[in-house]
Chain A
Amino acid sequence: MIKNWDLIKELAWSDFKVRYKGSILGIFWSFLKPILLFAIFYVVFAIIFKSDVENYALFILLGIIMWNFLVEATNISMNNMLVKKELLKSIYFSREVLVISSCLNALITAASNLALFFIIALILKLDFSAHILFLFVSMTLLFVLTLGISYILAALYVKYRDITHIWEVCVQIGFWITPIVYSIGLIPNKYMYLYMINPFARIINDAHNAVLYHTLPNVYQILITAGICIIVYIIGYKLYKYRSKYFAEEV
């Protein structure tokens, strides 16, 4: 396991370096995408639609950073199966390493984006409280869930290359059924139970409440969220583990 950890770190870090080394702006590119998205949504929803969500700028920024982590992690995971083709074909190592390192790679970006979020929050004079620490729980749950989904997608991608198109559509839909640019208050009560099946909605909503509005979800709700994340993770891991035996000949 220690050796695997060495390998995971090395792959994640070297891929991260390669991703941004080719350009002069380097790591700043990683800030650009969420900031641009943020700017667009802010103009549309705060200025044109006049959203009345409190701390709306920080509200969307946090949601976008978390959602962007999912999008990046899954894309890197799938892409890495092709990029690391030669490795799969000629070296034996635990195949899980590839997906874990891809997700860690995306997590580095997410962490630097979150740092930027807090700088902006300071500038906007957000009222900080200890509830902010709940963000660690949110990010952990998000990571486990994303890892599970990345396992599923990477395993399928080796055999079915058009899974990327299907996933792209899912991401589009997912974005709008998750409280990123609007608050959960807009959802009619009778659909709430349906809406709350989406684990991303649960995680991001809890993060919003903790960081911006100083409220924590009750333990029972957190356990349900964690339960969903762990189930997705186990399904993903099992599928990947089973399929990984054939990666070397199928990729």
Chain B
Amino acid sequence: MIKIKHITKSFILPHERKYTIFEHILSFIKMNKGYEKYYALKDITLDIEEGEVIGIIGDNGSGKSTLLKIIAKILVPDNGEVITHGKISSFIELGVGFQDELTARENTYLYGILTGMSKKEISAKYEEIVKYSGVKKFMDVKLKKFSTGMRLRVAFSTAIQSNPDILILDDIIGVGDINFQKKCFEAFQRFKKERKTIILAYHHIEAIEKLCDKVLYLEKGRQVAFGPASKIVKMYVERNAINNSKK
């Protein structure tokens, strides 16, 4: 169960990025404000029940990723709070933390632990991970020799072994070839069957309608609507059509 209460998040957008003490002093002396406050999310409130699959839709820059990162505790909101029960695994990007100089086997352990598994759990599931990834022959090869697709498969096979109560996915099911997408879809169905709570942002609007129970519609950081998937998706499509015809 997840309770999201009145979440507001702003970012400071400096005109120039200041990285040093020297630059900070300089801009202080010049007395230029040099930044703008930008609201990525404004007053978002919703409750998510256990086992629900929630989709987040909206145009680019509407705050989808920011909301996912706040639920995953990567970002801290300015106001409001998020109450979650259970273990959260977030996949904002697949394969972060991979080390090119290490072998695929070493990376599997590293990535598994990063995504919240214990070393024991990974050892127990190692054979399964290798089988699923389909790169068994290359597990002792350094990762830098791997193609993008192979890396993705290692990351994905490891990721789906983590056993979270809440799964957060940011547009990652859209990557890879058809075969990979099929595997993603299967894994997704499995998590759904196991009554995991899943929150995902995804650009493919038909897929959202098919996969999700409920949908949250964001526009420029504001919550436009939250409700049954088919209804909200219809609303999103209609509003977009109106906006387009206005142009």
| A-to-B contact residues, CB < 8 Å | 2-3, 6-7, 10-11, 14, 17-18, 21-22, 84, 86-93, 160-163, 166, 245-246, 248-249
Contacts and interface: CB of A to CB of B under 8 A. Distances in A.
Given A14-B99, A14-B106, A90-B74, A7 B19 contact: no
A2 B118 contact: yes
Which 9 A-B pairs rank lowest in CB-CB distance, beginning with the nearest? A90-B92, A162-B20, A161-B19, A245-B76, A92-B73, A86-B96, A160-B21, A10-B113, A18-B101
Contact of A248 (B74, B102, B114, B115): B74
A177 B53 CA distance: 62
Interface in B96-134: 96-97, 99, 101-102, 106, 109-110, 113-116, 118-119
Taking chain B's interface residues, is the majority helix, strand, or loop, or is none over half, making it mixed?
Answer: loop
Most buried by B among A10, A86, A89: A10
14 contacts: A18-B99, A86-B96, A86-B97, A88-B74, A90-B69, A91-B92, A91-B96, A92-B73, A93-B114, A160-B20, A160-B24, A161-B19, A162-B22, A249-B11
B74 A3 contact: no
A14 B102 contact: yes
A22 B100 CA distance: 11
A74 B229 CA distance: 51
Chain A: interface secondary structure? helix
Contacts of A166: 21
Interface in B196-227: none
B88 interface: yes
B11 A87 contact: no
Contact of A162 (B21, B75, B93, B119): B21
Given A2-B118, A249-B11, A89 B74 contact: yes
Nearest to B87: A3
A98 to B, nearest CB: 11
Contacts of A93: 114
Contacts of A7: 113-114
B97 A92 contact: no
B232 interface: no
A92 B88 contact: yes
A20 to B, nearest CB: 10
A10 B101 contact: no
B34 to A, nearest CB: 15
A11 B99 CA distance: 11
Residue with the greatest number of chain B CB neighbours at <10 A, chosen from A84, A91, A93: A91
B90 interface: yes
A246 B21 CA distance: 18
B167 interface: no
Given A10-B113, A248-B69, A248-B74, 17 more contacts: A2-B118, A7-B114, A10-B110, A14-B102, A17-B106, A86-B97, A90-B74, A90-B90, A90-B96, A91-B90, A91-B96, A92-B72, A160-B21, A162-B19, A163-B21, A166-B21, A245-B76
